[in-house]
A and B are shown apart, each in its own frame.
Chain A
Amino acid sequence: MASDDVFRQILDPAGRADPYPLYAELRETPVFRREDGTWVVSTYREIVELLHDPRISSDRRNLAHRPEGDVADGMGGVSFITTDPPEHDRLRRLAVRHFGPPHSAGRVESLRPEMLAITTELIDGLTGHTRADLVDEIAYPLPVTVICRLLGVPREDEPRFHAWADAVVESLGPGEEDRAEREQARAEAISKLQTYLADLAAARRDAPGDDLLSGLVTYEGPEGRMSPVEVIATSALLLIAGHETTVNLITNGMLTLLRHPELIKRLRAEPDLIVTTVEELLRYEPPVHFLSSRVALADIPIAGTTIPAGAPVVLVLASGSRDPAHVSHPDTFDPDRRYSEHLGFGGGIHYCFGAALARLEGQIVLQQLVNRLVNPRLVEDPPPYRPSATLRGPRHLLVDFEAVNPASP
């Protein structure tokens, strides 16, 4: 079947630089069944429907045929990303309590000065150079520092869990054939991360700080509290997600802007423009391309076919956001779009937990890079990509520039 070949090409790292023409081919069959029994959904309307369909589970234990060795809790235990309501709702509420409204409404906003200071310091570090790898020097360190600060993880331990987070992320993705093997690799990395976080959680329980981890271990309310296992799973999830997604937003963002030099000029002159630029990036070059661990709980009639109960379902978010039936001129990068709805953070009850944080980080760092790098140019286009088709972004992004402007006061 043609679509199966297309999907194999999408997963092939050789095509990582531009999967979008392949997505267009996928959309010719909005919902199709792969030979391995996975159902792939690639059009906007159908993806949004399934994101809001209570017959779709995020818990792989509901698969009719689970591959041997499938651990089902790919992010390290029971966290809200791999559970369904009511467990999902309870865990997410207990986590949001320490991160967002209504109980911690100003928390993300309150991190802004610190984000700006970290960004300033990182870009200051480029002074005197005329070439930098924006992945290693800016896009990776910023979100890691922020998530460590937020979660209460010592920054100096970062090299230890960097490797674990990478291993977890590279094993994510659609496809059932080698899943058991990948899950095995992931399980090993996760086990180490869990041991690390368990020690940290114990320390926070004894001496709580103002960080999220302290909140998770100490809070007890009408709904009870997070169990120690849940605390570790939740903090592992936040740590990994905080590590591996925003980096792509920032690098995909700089890459896109450097391909549109006229926008760099505009961004210097129009301070409000960065807000819609980041939204358009989330649509046009999103950090996360697939949601690949969903399961149908019942037969779901959709787009002229029926996804059978127990089948694995892959939602190709990045394809949906480029669906011409949803958005005009989908392959044009246009930050002036009005009312742009996109799938950059997914949708439904599993909508990205850290969306607000990622947006602010993206807005701050891209604005600062645009303002401070003098005449920036791409060294190679396309840049080398990380292997993951799911969390897609450059491994390195080498940029030449003439000088670094001082930070404006």
Chain B
Amino acid sequence: MRVVIDLTRCQGYGQCAYLAPEVFTMHGDEAVAYDPEPDDAQREHVLRAAAACPVQALHVDRNTMRHWTAPVRRLGDGSGGIVRDGHIVIVGGSLAGGRAAGVLRREGFTGRLTVIGEETHEPYDRPPLSKQILTRRVPAEHARLPRLREVEADWIPGNPATGLDLATKTVRLADGREVAFDRVLIATGTRARPWPNEAEAALEGVHVLRTLEDATGLREALAAGPERVLVIGGGFTGSEVASACRELGLPVTLVERGPAPLVGALGGVIGRIAGGIQRDHGVDLRCGVTVTALEDDGAGRLRRARLSDGSTVEAQVAVVALGAVRNVEWLRGSGLAAGPWGVACDAGCRAVDVNGLVTDDVFVAGDIARFPHPVFHYQFMALEHWGNAVAQAEVAAHNMVSDQAHRWPHLSLPVFWSSQFGINIKSVGVPTLADQLVVTQGSVAERRFVAVYGYKGRITAAVTFDQAIWLEFYQRLIERAAPFPPDFRHVDMRRDTGPVPAEVPERALAGEGATVVVTGHDPAERSASLLYGGEA
């Protein structure tokens, strides 16, 4: 049987761990880890756990993430404006693509459905790859997501798309095949950013972590008991890998270019707290430095790293956790507004072309989609979050089969989570859109708290450490543009200090994008085009 917990919804009640303790385990107060493919002998326990979940975040053998208990209200004539026929092609068979396929069928699409995937296996869940799979609590192959196969679709695995032709409405595949579509969903996601030096990246012992194969390889490397693991990059993936290493009892050095881990996502104040937690758990944390070289032992194996401060770290395993690169290369020349920042789309997930025009039949979802968010000044945002992939795939799939009177906007606030060092970190809103933050509930010293972020006098985000149960309250404050700092009385008010600068990084600009050039004079002939480096 297959199990997935929607950790965006999960509030850490722990009921699953009471009723199926062999499958679900709590780490600390709130963080839950589980075996995504438990033994059939656990079936009764898992069903009890799923039924008991107070927020119904636990899915068994079903690829359903969104659930209504009340009837869905449809506008207009009651038919829902559903377009039931035609051929829909989904490019990308991971979380967003798989989810969209399920939603299309649920919405009543009865036409032909094709899913094109780069990877050869069924969709799997990535969050466990940096956690329970690295620590060997569960086998790697258990990460498969529930039952995409049960969705009636033509499944083309191991054959990445190499091009998109909007004029002929076809997708080109690596093997030369062309697949025609009526509507297409782009959900090709991201890949791990590789170590920039190819020769060093090829050394035995140098790993990235994005795919199931990556996780399997890293898990074996860690199982061999290296004397030290070097983690390059202190974002969420790097921090979770460091946490897994410490759980395995392995010495680990984490090198972060910024002043603290998690700074890029949560700012300097919370980053320093995360850094303190890492040090308390025995991580050798080096901030404000970079790795300048990875050196081999003369036999093609990693031996040590040189750092920018002149020091060296002896390590047999290095994990390069420098973020992700969006898989957009195949869209080059397609006429879509695609680049390192993602594929631009409207709030309804319809792709935007290079002129800024919204397309009719091309949709985008997941890590790759860059959409304007009304709550955040209509900024175009691409969110690499599990919950966003699910929510956006839902909206995209719905809109692909709905007429314009029935389309939905993707308005959900970003929510993400990370569990590391026995602490469940959750975030709602956009913490990087902030000038100040204040700890409203709980205590930083106890490492259980709610931090609220504000920008120009309104609340823009909240981050919880082991306090996820309060997150939705703050989500509503963000949605209502409530004033910052919060001025009401509430429980667990231990405000030792007022608001402090949030220390969020300057917005990073994509450095390698194309140049936009506008040509023509009359409205009918004016158009934009993208120029890539080296092109004239």
Given contacts A52-B472, A102-B26, A275-B47, contact A108 B443 (CB under 8 A): no
Whether A326 lies near B69 (C-beta < 8 A) is yes
Query: Which residues in window 41-63 of B have CB below 8 A to A?
Result: 44-45, 47-48, 51-52, 54-56
Q: Give the Cβ gap from B273 to chain A, nearest Cβ, in Å.
A: 18
Chain A 150-193 per-residue mask, 1 if CB under 8 angstroms from chain B, else 0: 00000000000000000000000000000000000000000000
Tell me the complex Cα distance, A345–B52, Å. Answer: 10
Contact A339 B52 (CB under 8 A): no
Q: What is the CA–CA distance of A112 and B44 in the complex, to the nearest angstrom? A: 13
Which chain A residues in 353-404 approach chain B with CB under 8 Å? Answer: 355-356, 359-360, 363
How far is A406 from B279 in the complex, measured between Cα atoms in Å?
A: 61
B530 → A minimal CB distance (Å)? 44
The CA-CA distance from A201 to B336 in the complex, in Å, is 72
Known: A109-B19, A363-B48. A85 touches B491 (CB 8 A): yes
Instruction: Tell me the A97-114 residues at the B interface (CB within 8 Å).
Output: 100-102, 105-106, 108-109
B67 in contact (CB, < 8 A)? yes
Asked if B469 and A328 make an inter-chain contact with CB atoms under 8 angstroms apart, the answer reads no
* B69 contacts A86, C-beta separation under 8 Å: no
Among candidates A54, A278, A327, A337, residue contacting B490 with C-beta atoms closer than 8 Å: A54
Question: Residue-by-residue, is B1-30 near A (CB-CB < 8 Å gives 1, otherwise 0)?
Answer: 000000000000111011101000111110
Q: Does A279 contact B (CB under 8 A)?
A: yes
Name the residue of chain B whose CB is nearest to the CB of A58. B491
| Selected contact of B491 from candidates A105, A297, A359, CB within 8 Å | A297
Residues of B within 8 A of A102 (CB): 17, 25-28
Name the B residues within 8 Å of A106 (CB-CB).
Answer: 21
Complex-state Cα separation, A337 to B19, whole angstroms:
20
CA distance A340 to B68 in the complex (A): 9
- Within the complex, what minimum Cβ distance (angstroms) separates A385 from chain B? 27
Contact of A327 with B448 in the complex, beta carbons under 8 Å:
no
Q: A86-B494, A100-B14 are in contact. Are A279 and B47 (CB under 8 A)?
A: no
Q: Is B406 an interface residue (CB 8 A)?
A: no
Per-residue contact bits, chain B 260-286, to A (CB 8 Å; 1 contact, 0 not): 000000000000000000000000000
Q: Which of A101, A278, A355 makes the CB contact (< 8 A) with B26?
A: A101
Size class of B's contact patch?
A: 35 or more
Structural contact, B67 and A324, CB atoms closer than 8 A? no
For residue A38, CB closer than 8 A to chain B, the reply is no
Whether B19 pairs with A345 at a CB distance below 8 angstroms is no
A293–chain B nearest beta-carbon distance, Å: 14
Inter-chain CA distance A108–B16, complex, in Å, is: 12
Q: With A and B bound together, what is the CA distance between A299 and B56 in angstroms?
A: 31
Bound form: Cα–Cα A288–B35 in Å: 34
- Whole-angstrom distance from the CB of B457 to the nearest CB of chain A? 19
Q: Determine whether the beta carbon of B441 is less than 8 Å from that of A351.
A: no
Whether a CB of chain A sits under 8 angstroms from the CB of B378 is no
Q: Which residues of A contact B19 (CB under 8 A)?
A: 108-109, 356, 359-360
**A256 interface contact, C-beta 8 A:** no
Contact with B492, one of A85, A93, A324, A356 (Cβ below 8 angstroms): A85
Contact status B52-A356, CB under 8 Å? yes
Decide yes or no whether A12 CB sits under 8 A from chain B.
Answer: no
Q: Which of B45, B54, B443, B488 contacts A347 (CB 8 A)?
A: B54
B14 to chain A minimum Cβ distance, whole angstroms, is: 5
The B-contacting residues of A in range 321-340, CB under 8 angstroms, are 324-328, 337-340
Q: Is B15 a contact partner of A355 (Cβ separation < 8 A)? A: yes
What chain B residues lie within 8 Å of A93 (beta carbons)?
29
Is A55 on the interface with B (CB-CB < 8 A)? yes
CB distance from A401 to the nearest CB of B (A): 27
Q: Which of chain B's residues have a CB closer than 8 A to the CB of A355?
A: 15, 18, 52
A276 and B51 contacting across the interface, CB-CB below 8 Å: yes
Chain A minimum-CB-distance residue to B20:
A109
- Assuming the contacts A55-B488, A100-B14, A309-B489, asked whether A341 and B26 have C-beta atoms less than 8 A apart, the reply is no
Q: Which residues of A contact B470 (CB under 8 A)?
A: 52, 54
| A122 at the binding interface (Cβ < 8 Å) | no
Q: How far is the CB of B65 from chain A (nearest CB, A)?
A: 10
How near does chain B come to A277, taking the closest CB pair, in angstroms?
10
Is the beta-carbon distance between B52 and A84 smaller than 8 angstroms? no
A351 partner residues in chain B, CB cutoff 8 A: 13, 54
Contact with A along B409-449 (1 / 0, CB 8 A): 00000000000000000000000000000001111000010
The docked-state distance in angstroms from the alpha carbon of A73 to that of B158 is 64
Cβ-closest chain A residue relative to B474: A54
Tell me which residues from 64 to 101 in chain A have a Cβ below 8 Å from any Cβ of chain B.
84-86, 88-89, 93, 100-101
* Chain A residue contacts of B14, Cβ below 8 A: 100-101
Min CB distance, A100 to chain B, in Å?
A: 5
User: Which residue of B has the minimal Cβ distance to A324?
Assistant: B70
Given contacts A54-B470, A105-B21, A106-B21, contact A339 B67 (CB under 8 A): yes
Residue contact B44 to A101, C-beta cutoff 8 Å: no
Which residue in chain B gives the minimum CB-CB distance to A107?
B18
A86-B494, A327-B69 known; A275+B48 contact, CB < 8 A = yes
Please name the residue on chain A nearest to B466 by beta carbon.
Answer: A89
Whether the pair A85, B442 counts as a contact (CB closer than 8 A) is yes
A121 touches B (CB below 8 Å): no
Q: What residue of chain A has the Cβ atom nearest to residue B31's Cβ?
A: A102
From the candidates A55, A88, A278, name the one contacting B489 in the complex (CB within 8 A).
A55
Query: Is A36 in the interface zone, CB < 8 Å from B?
Result: no
Assess whether B298 is interfacial by the CB under 8 Å rule: no
Cα distance, A123 to B412, chains bound together (Å):
52
In the bound complex, residues from chain B placing their C-beta under 8 Å from that of A324 are: 70
A356→B25 contact, CB < 8 A? no
Residue A11 lies at the interface, judged by CB distance under 8 Å to chain B: no
Q: Which residues of B contact A339 (CB under 8 A)?
A: 56, 64, 67-69
Q: Does B523 contact A (CB under 8 A)?
A: no
Q: With A85-B442, A105-B17, A272-B44 known to touch, is A54 a contact of B473 (CB < 8 Å)?
A: yes
Evaluate contact between A101 and B18: CB separation under 8 angstroms: yes
Query: What chain A residues lie within 8 Å of B25 (beta carbons)?
Result: 101-102, 105
Cβ of B176 under 8 Å from chain A: no
Query: Is B71 an interface residue, CB under 8 A from the partner?
Result: yes
Q: Report the bound CA distance from A276 to B60 in whole Å.
A: 14
Taken residue by residue from 448 to 473, chain B's Cβ proximity to chain A (1 for < 8 Å, 0 otherwise) reads as 10000000000000000000011011
B494 in contact with A52 (CB, 8 Å): no
Contacts of B492 in A (CB 8 A): 54, 84-86, 89
Q: Is A348 in contact with chain B by the CB < 8 A criterion?
A: yes
Contact assessment for A356 and B18 in the assembled complex, using a CB-CB cutoff below 8 Å: yes
Nearest CB of B to A298, in Å: 4
Does B476 sit within 8 A of A, measured CB to CB? yes
Does A53 count as interface, using CB distance less than 8 angstroms? Answer: yes
Whether A258 sits at the interface, judged by CB under 8 Å, is: no
Task: Report whether B70 and A327 are in contact in the complex, using a CB–CB cutoff of 8 Å.
Answer: yes
Interface bits A115-153 vs B (CB < 8 Å: 1, else 0) = 000000000000000000000000000000000000000
CA separation between A160 and B17, bound complex, in Å?
35
On whether the beta carbons of B51 and A275 are closer than 8 Å, the reply is: yes
**Bound CA–CA A279/B15 (angstroms):** 13
Q: Which residue of B lies closest to A85 (CB)?
A: B492
User: Nearest Cβ in chain B — how far from A356, in angstroms?
Assistant: 4
Identify the closest chain A residue to B59 (Cβ): A339
The answer to whether the Cβ of A49 comes within 8 Å of any Cβ in the partner chain is yes
Max chain B CB contacts within 10 Å: which of A57, A85, A324, A360?
A85
- A341–B52 touching, CB < 8 Å: no
| Most chain A CB inside 10 Å of its own CB: which residue of B28, B54, B68, B71 | B54
Q: A101-B17, A359-B19 are in contact. Are A89 and B70 (CB under 8 A)?
A: no
Closest 5 CB pairs of A and B: A356-B18, A339-B67, A85-B492, A54-B490, A298-B488
A/B interface sample: 5 pairs, CB < 8 A: A55-B489, A93-B29, A105-B17, A105-B21, A279-B52
Contacts A55-B489, A109-B21 known; 15 new A-B pairs at CB < 8 A: A52-B469, A53-B473, A86-B492, A89-B448, A100-B14, A101-B18, A102-B17, A102-B25, A105-B21, A105-B25, A109-B18, A279-B51, A339-B68, A351-B54, A356-B19
**Which residues of B pack against A, CB within 8 Å?**
13-15, 17-19, 21, 25-29, 44-45, 47-48, 51-52, 54-56, 64, 67-71, 440-443, 448, 469-470, 472-473, 476, 488-492, 494
